[in-house]
Amino acid sequence: MSKVSVIVPVYNVEQYIKRCLKSILDQSWQDFEILCVDDCGQDQSISIIEQMQKEYPQKIKILYGEQNMGLGAARDRGIKAASGKYIAFIDSDDYLKRNFLETYMHAAQKKDADIIVGGYIRDVNGKLSKTPIDVNDDTFVWMNVSACTKVYKRKFLEDNHLSFYGVRRYEDEGFMYRCLACHPVVELMAYSGYYYYMNSESITRSSKSDRTGIVKEYFQTVNKLADTVKCDRETQPLLNYCLVSGLTANMLYNGQGCGGKKMKELYIQYNKLLNKIDRDICKNKYIALKYLKSEPAKKRYTTWLILRLRKIGLDRLLFFLVSRI
């Protein structure tokens, strides 16, 4: 059996951490270690883990922290401490099917893959919905950037010096695009064994807050990726599309109700970034609706529409209307 290092960042999750760890401990594939990375929360999460560690001392390791560093830095600490041949990331409020590791490991050995990719099941307060997966669509891995629905060969990450660079927000996008630019051997599975938990109350609170700061953080992430991640001629247009699609989605969702003044400021930065990524982005073949079937239809059509409006100089008007909602 191949050992898997399961990295679990821990920050204020006392309600969920026991469920998360129990779902790992109950795996049918038992060759693993759990690295719980303490990100210095204020609740009893670490105390709960310490109690579980007494029962499973060979399985659970705690990497104590001195200060809160954010999700990206916590995962990076886990990568450095990992001893397994493979690495998996599990967010501490999520949980796994019992055969998650076994299914991924069989797929990894079948192709000696660097990255094994599956889908996930969204859990909104007990209401479950599964993401569809087309194993014949090579672009799926670009559309599904979550680090947690994948298992990685540790040697691949180390040989290519891949990490999350301590990023606090949008850490998955940067990590995955850098991974894919290194031409990994990818095994895509029609399997969903990762439960992604979402609390409807926190979603509602988020939708009512001013999120322009989030848009600006995403701009910074995309700007850095545009400078540092370079692909070959075949995949560069795909990366460009992903970056632009993320920008438009952020402007529409997180720019809602921000007001005309703030939207004007955001649009200036947005326009500069689009030109930096690709001045001819409207000619990118992936804009066409016949491509990228793995991307949610709503996002695909929205990106197509906004870039068509941009071509005739009307995208600014749409964003202004969004800012007034």
| Residue ranges in the chain modelled with pLDDT below 70 | 1, 200-209
Q: Are 261 and 211 in contact (CB under 8 A)?
A: no
Q: What is the pLDDT of residue 203?
A: 41
Length of the chain: 325
Distance CA 216, CA 277 (A): 16
Question: What DSSP letter does each residue of 185-241 carry, written as one string?
Answer: -EEEEEEEEEEEEE-HHHHHHHHTS--HHHHHHHHHHHHHHHHH----TTTHHHHHH
DSSP 110-155: HHT-SEEEEEEEEEETTEEEEPP--TT-TTHHHH---GGGEEEEHH
60's enclosing H/E stretch is strand 60-63
Six token digits for residue 172:
């998955």
Helix (H) or strand (E) holding 69: none
Q: Return the domain boundaries, the chain.
A: 4-200, 209-323
Strand-pair partners of 86: 4, 153
Residue 213, strand partner residues: none
Residues 219, 143: contact at Cβ < 8 Å? Answer: no
* Contact status, residue 301 vs residue 289, Cβ threshold 8 Å: yes
**pLDDT tens-place string over residues 198-213:** 876 554 445 546 789 9
In terms of phi and psi (left: phi > 0; alpha: psi -120 to 50; beta: otherwise), the region of 261 is: alpha
Rg (CA), the chain: 20
Are the C-beta atoms of 243 and 275 separated by less than 8 Å?
Answer: no
Position 166 scores a pLDDT of 79
| CATH code of the domain occupying 4-200 | 3.90.550.10
Long-range contacts of 244-248 (CB under 8 A, 24+ apart): 244/274, 244/277, 244/278, 244/281, 244/284, 244/303, 244/307, 245/295, 245/299, 245/300, 245/303, 246/173, 246/218, 246/222, 247/218, 247/219, 247/222, 247/273, 247/274, 248/302, 248/303, 248/306, 248/307
